[in-house]
Chain A
Amino acid sequence: MEFKELPPVKEQLMKCVRCGKCRSVCPVFSEIGNETVAPRGHVFMVQMLRDGIVAPEQKVYDHLTNCLMCETCSVNCPSGIDIHELNAAARSYIYEHNPNLAKDLIFDTMWTNPAYLKNVVRMIWGAQASGAQSLGRKLGLTKLLPGDMPKAEKILTDIPWRSARSQLPAVSPAIGKKKFTVGYFLGCATDLLNPEVAKATVAVLTRNGCEVVIPPGTKCCGLPQIANGKMSTAQRLAIDNIEAFQKYDFDYIITDCASCSSALAVKNMELLLGTTEYREQARAFSAKVMDLTYFLIHVLDIHPPANDKAPRVRVTYHDPCHLANAQGIKDEPRELLRRIPGVELVEMKDANRCCGGSGTFSLTHYDLSMQILDKKMENIGATGADLVATCCPSCMMQLRHGVSRQGLHARLVHPVQLLSQAYEDQD
């Protein structure tokens, strides 16, 4: 569809009154402080693009990517504008005029094919396990990496060898009486970087009466592509995923990754496929998609057994933007943590402020990302928490890096890992 005709561009652009409220909530603006990075500035620039006042050039793209896509501005916009959607649409429009072979290779070829992605991750594992990553740093070879990668490669630590998919069966039967058949959308980052989270998810779901199916052919949720100007690739991935899950009659489609659930939720699917022939299929698919913590609280209403002997552990919770802002899910992860024996939940200041990770943002804007991260880590440090819980693998990676930068001792976990552990402790 033509850029001008895209629903956010056609319907929402004119609604911006440039009141500037977005200046008061944007984490990037808070660091840089000039109008060129204010969310209303991005809206303005999208309008300039639409009206042909500026050409779809790379430098406009670079301006628009001074944005985490954290959606904080969108949820706070009094005019109700989905600023992040306008930004994403503009990035794709510009990218179409400025294609880049390396980017195509990464986002169209590698990231759309789980086998390729797995091999890339294994290469990184190999570099870490063999000491090549650390040797490369010492010899200065990592400086030869493109863009911000010479600095950002430090974020990629502790890569596991075995993916979740290679450790989990395609179908895990319910333990006891079956309540639901659940399709598990196993996102790339959980699969390849946090297999322990996936194992915990399957363990908790099966224990609570769910048959868990991981459909073959599941692909990336498309969020990295949207953020990187590849909306058409994200559309293709969405169709592939719908088709992969359509083959089953699932009661629910569950994911433990905030980014995946936001990408598969109604709003984003409407953006991708709302004006295509796949619209109805996309709606039917999205209607079943649910974040794991929401499912555990509102559908299964789980209550792990009391355990007086459970060790006391101080946990603070970080809200992933794609859960809190994109889906309004803030209470459920906290409620889940409160129900786990031994957990003492301590709120950090500004728990719902972005950690600066935002998928690939930390890799493309490393220094800025670290400025934002440092504020988050200060707030985490002040809680004295033993564990930092969050529901997004990108946040986990970023916060893990923050813990290491600040020399803290806190460990990163997904709430479901603590829950799974609580069940195991009872066995």
Chain B
Amino acid sequence: MDKLTIQKELLKMFGPDRLLSDELDLMYYSYDSSFLTKLESTSPYAVVFPKSTEDVQQILRFAWANHVNVIPRGAGTGETGGCVAVEGGIVLDLSQWNQIVDIDQKNMQVVVRPGVIHAELNNELAKYNLFFPPDPGSSLMCTIGGMVANNASGLRAVKYGTTEQYVLGLEVVVPNGDVMITGGMKSRAIKNVSGLNLTKLMVGSEGVLGVITKIRLRCFPKPRARGIALAVFDNLDDAPATVLDVYQAGILPSGIEILDGSAIKAVNEFKPHIQLPDAEAILLFEVDGNPPSVEFEGNVIREMAGKRARSVEWSTDPQRMAKLWEGRSVTAAAASRVRPDGSRIFAGEDISVPLSRVADVLRAIRELGRKYGIQVVNYGHIGDGNVHTAPVINPENPEEVEKVLQLVDEIHLLAIEMEGTTTGEHGVGAVRRRYAPLEHGLAHEYMLKTKQAFDPKGIMNPGKLI
């Protein structure tokens, strides 16, 4: 079916207020945060704003009947091109469908529509003394639907894990327009091992199996106390070693973050008031729980970090903690500040490796940066081996672009070689799909078979994930 006919049919279904079909409007849906979509942008055929499960069913029945691609999209904050119509199709902008359907305080769970913003959900849950622990850096703008589709996590995954651990059930519109409930049709159980676990299959499926239209999440009681330790290192290698020491001492912090020297510089350029110490690396440990346990764990971390660190600061003062944590949370975008005529790019930014290899990886990435003559800022969730690398280049210089693409490829291959993965939490999308056979071998073929079972016509988010 040609684009104009698709637009006309959608106009009949949704009217002009819930549809974009003008060429100029559609261009705004040709990107997310990935470097890929800065290099090549593809506009969708149309953008629809669904507000009900029936809306989504209607679109999928139409798309199924006419072999039209469908691409679900949240806030477009992803870094993989996952929500972009790289092979054409209808984009479903689900970000306006943002109702919190039910907060079930007694059973400590919440039911939401896909467009709810992460920070807004936690603001609401806080009124019930609950929280949804996964904590992405994009909390202020990313949607829960997007988090589920990408199995996102963030700063506190060390202790609290990733989104998948909190998804109890889903409503999914499958490619032919049917509505499937996973996790039990009526279940509000927290533990549930009945049937094949389709919830886990859907979490992180990046929209290639269906459209997630309702999400039942488990919540945790909000911890009563929190503390942050800042450890400053003159030698980069001492930072990962300290992380292992802390674990060996029997402490599981809620988050352990690393910023290398260039990341520290970037943060201080962006927010001078934070005044991070000039060093080869810093570690930020966050512990939470009850006040005595926080104090105890803080003391142990101080002791362990003190063995190698130049200095260790421990704080439970809310203002100081906010300032220190802000230093980490702004790093992603502030990385550009290390080069006045450059910009950080989101590519090769999410490898995850075993804890024992983190120091090797950080060293190797530095070497790769030197090899290609590209400044690289490293930061990330060192507590779970998830390293965020930010190459800083002039993205409008073709030579630099060519070099950085080679650098990124080497980073991805390095991660696989080091018994890790190309992505710890951002997802595969269009940018890392080519590594799937190398990473998964025969399992990749079974992934393709699974996709075939759900979507034999291949209309759901083609060109992504597998």
Contact = CB atoms under 8 A, between A and B. Distances in A.
A80 interface: yes
A281 interface: no
A177 interface: no
B196 interface: no
Given A18-B33, A23-B141, A80-B337, A63 B24 contact: yes
A287 interface: no
A277 to B, nearest CB: 26
B28 A24 contact: no
A15 interface: yes
Nearest to A22: B141
A59 B22 CA distance: 11
B17 to A, nearest CB: 11
A54 B30 CA distance: 14
A21 B49 CA distance: 21
Contacts of B28: 34-36, 38, 41, 44-45
Nearest to B73: A35
Given A14-B343, A34-B20, A19 B25 contact: no
A48 interface: yes
A27 to B, nearest CB: 15
B256 interface: no
Interface in B392-411: 394-396
Contact of A19 (B27, B332, B395): B332
B334 interface: yes
Q: Which of B24, B28, B47 has the most CB of A within 10 A?
A: B28
B21 to A, nearest CB: 12
A20 interface: yes
A21 B141 contact: yes
A78 B270 contact: yes
A17 interface: yes
B76 A33 contact: no
Contact of B49 (A20, A23, A34, A54): A34
Contacts of B93: 34-35
A15 B142 CA distance: 21
A34 B25 CA distance: 10
B334 A20 contact: no
A50 to B, nearest CB: 10
Interface in B306-361: 330, 332-334, 336-337, 341, 343-346
A17 B24 contact: no
A60 interface: yes
Interface string A1-38: 00000000001001111111101100000000111101
Contact of A20 (B25, B77, B270, B337): B77
Interface in A50-70: 54, 59-60, 63
B31 interface: yes
Contacts of B346: 17
A44 B395 contact: no
B25 A36 contact: yes
Q: Which of A17, A33, A59 has the most CB of B within 10 A?
A: A17
A183 to B, nearest CB: 32
A23 B343 contact: no
Main secondary structure of the interface of B (DSSP, over half): loop
Given A11-B341, A35-B28, A63-B24, A19 B138 contact: yes
A368 to B, nearest CB: 14
Contacts of B344: 17
A18 B31 contact: yes
A167 interface: no
A40 to B, nearest CB: 8
B185 interface: no
Q: Which of B96, B142, B330, B333 has the most CB of A within 10 A?
A: B333
Contacts of A41: 28
Contact of A54 (B27, B32, B117): B27
Contact of A15 (B33, B49, B336): B336
Given A17-B336, A79-B336, A80-B337, A33 B24 contact: no
A330 to B, nearest CB: 15
A35 B119 CA distance: 19
A159 B25 CA distance: 40
Nearest to A18: B33
A425 B49 CA distance: 59
Interface string B183-218: 000000000000000000000000000000000000
B343 to A, nearest CB: 5
A38 B25 CA distance: 12
B24 A54 contact: yes
Nearest to A59: B24
Nearest to B31: A18
B57 interface: no
Contacts of A60: 24
Interface string B3-40: 00000000000000000100011011101110001100
B95 interface: yes
Contacts of B1: none
A24 B24 contact: no
A36 B26 CA distance: 8
A63 B29 CA distance: 14
A35 B27 CA distance: 10
A60 to B, nearest CB: 7
Nearest to B333: A78
Contact of B76 (A17, A21, A35, A78): A35
B270 A80 contact: yes
Interface string B115-126: 001010000000
Contacts of A16: 343
B453 interface: no
B438 interface: no
A16 to B, nearest CB: 8
B138 A34 contact: no
B159 to A, nearest CB: 26
Given A14-B394, A33-B96, A79 B141 contact: no
B117 A24 contact: yes
Interface string B277-304: 0000000000000000000000000000
Interface in B55-107: 75-77, 93, 95-96
Given A17-B33, A36-B28, 8 more contacts: A16-B343, A17-B336, A17-B346, A18-B33, A34-B28, A34-B49, A48-B27, A59-B24
Q: Closest 4 CB pairs between A and B?
A: A78-B333, A24-B140, A35-B28, A20-B77
Interface of B: 20, 24-25, 27-29, 31-33, 37-38, 47, 49, 75-77, 93, 95-96, 117, 119, 138, 140-142, 270, 330, 332-334, 336-337, 341, 343-346, 394-396
24 contacts: A14-B343, A15-B336, A16-B343, A17-B336, A17-B343, A18-B38, A19-B138, A19-B333, A21-B333, A24-B117, A33-B96, A34-B28, A34-B47, A35-B28, A35-B93, A36-B20, A36-B25, A41-B28, A54-B24, A54-B27, A60-B24, A80-B270, A80-B336, A80-B337
